[in-house]
């Protein structure tokens, strides 16, 4: 009898200990569950806040990108306008420089043409003098050739009708050079006509044609056969 009571008390004691153990575990499980719920709620709230922050940041980034794109477009547009204005100014300045260069070139050509023209007059006058004073048709032919070459240079500096007229004068001088190979009394008359044409073409006073007088007259006395003509 005594052994049964001791055994029953031992069983009761073990059962009581087991009950307390499982009860403690149950309470701990409840506490852990509540703590998990709190953590989950906090995590959800944090995620929600982070999501809102990310959306706000994305919106800001998109807005900034749009502003940057617009600023870039405005900058490109302004740069294009600025470059266009600069290009126009450069073109205008270049056009003015070209115009001034053409004016200066024309003036230089005009001066050169006048210089060459003086040479043409001088050559024709020397050709006339060589024939009238000395009967030297070879020297006259050389001077006519010089005059023709100078006219060719003047012709290169001119255009239009003036160029055509100068080319005609060149042709006349060419024909005169041929005539000087077989001289006739009309040669000096042709020289005078060419001088007149040069005067008309360049608004200069025409030269007087010097036609040789007949031998033995007072204007051109016949030289003594023993005397040679003096060269000027």
**123 within domain boundaries:** yes
Q: Is residue 192 part of a domain?
A: yes
Q: How confident is the model at residue 120 (pLDDT cuts 50, 70, 90)?
A: confident
Q: For the chain, what is the domain count? A: 1
For residues 157 and 109, give the distance between their C-alpha atoms in angstroms, rounded to a whole number: 6
The verdict on residue 191 lying in a domain is yes
For residue 170, the tally of other CB atoms under 10 A from its CB is 18
Query: At 130, is the pLDDT very low, low, confident or very high (cuts 50, 70, 90)?
Result: confident
- Structural domain range at position 171: 118-201
Record the pTM. Answer: 0.41
pLDDT in tens, 191-213: 666 666 666 555 544 444 444 43
The confidence score (pLDDT) of residue 216 equals 38
Query: Is 82's pLDDT higher than 50?
Result: yes
pLDDT at 123 over 60: yes
Mean pLDDT of 38-60: 79
**What is the arithmetic mean of pLDDT over 9-27?**
69
Q: Which residues are within 8 A (CB) of 130 and not within 5 positions of it... i.e. 6 or more apart?
A: 136, 137, 139, 140, 143
Q: Is residue 189 pLDDT above 60, yes or no?
A: yes
Whether the CB-CB separation of 147 and 127 falls below 8 Å is answered with: yes
User: Considering the domain boundaries, does residue 175 fall inside one?
Assistant: yes
pLDDT at 225 over 60: no
**Confidence tier at 231 by pLDDT (50, 70, 90):** very low
Nearest in space to 212 (alpha carbons), one of 130, 147, 143, 148:
130
Which residue do the tokens 């044609």 mark? 209
Residue 132 in domain: yes
Most confident listed range (120-129, 191-200, 210-219, 220-229): 120-129
Look at residue 223 and tell me if it is in a domain.
no
Query: Reduced to 3 DSSP states, what percent helix, strand and coil does the chain have, rounded to the nearest 5?
Result: 80, 0, 20
Question: pLDDT band at residue 219, thresholds of 50, 70 and 90?
Answer: very low
Residue 36 falls within a domain, yes or no? no
For residues 6 and 152, the model is more confident at 152
Which is more confidently placed, 136 or 209? 136
Q: Could you tell me which of 178, 174, 183 has the C-alpha nearest to residue 135?
A: 183
CA angle at 192 for the pair 218 and 137, rounded to the nearest 5°: 75
Q: Does 71 fall in a domain? A: no
Residue with tokens 């007259």: 217
């Amino acid at each position: 009898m005594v052994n049964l009571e001791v055994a029953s008390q031992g069983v009761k004691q073990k059962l009581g200990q087991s009950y307390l153990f499982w009860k403690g575990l149950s309470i701990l499980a409840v506490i852990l569950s509540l703590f998990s719920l709190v953590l989950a709620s906090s995590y959800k709230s944090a995620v929600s806040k982070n999501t809102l922050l990310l959306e706000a940041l994305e919106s800001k980034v998109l807005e900034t990108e749009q502003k940057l794109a617009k600023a870039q477009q405005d900058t490109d547009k302004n740069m294009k306008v600025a470059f266009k204005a600069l290009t126009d100014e450069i073109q205008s300045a270049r056009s003015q420089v070209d115009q001034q260069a053409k004016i200066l070139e024309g003036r230089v050509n005009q001066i050169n043409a006048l210089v060459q023209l003086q040479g043409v007059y001088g050559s024709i006058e020397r050709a006339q003098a060589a024939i009238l004073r000395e009967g030297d048709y070879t020297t006259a032919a050389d001077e006519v050739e010089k005059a023709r070459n100078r006219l060719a240079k003047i012709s290169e500096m001119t255009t239009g009708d003036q160029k055509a007229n100068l080319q005609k004068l060149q042709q006349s001088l060419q024909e005169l050079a041929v005539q000087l190979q077989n001289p006739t009394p009309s040669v000096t008359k042709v020289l005078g006509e060419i001088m007149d044409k040069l005067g008309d073409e360049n608004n200069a006073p025409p030269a007087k044609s010097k036609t040789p007088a007949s031998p033995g007259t007072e204007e051109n006395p016949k030289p003594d056969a023993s005397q040679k003509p003096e060269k000027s």
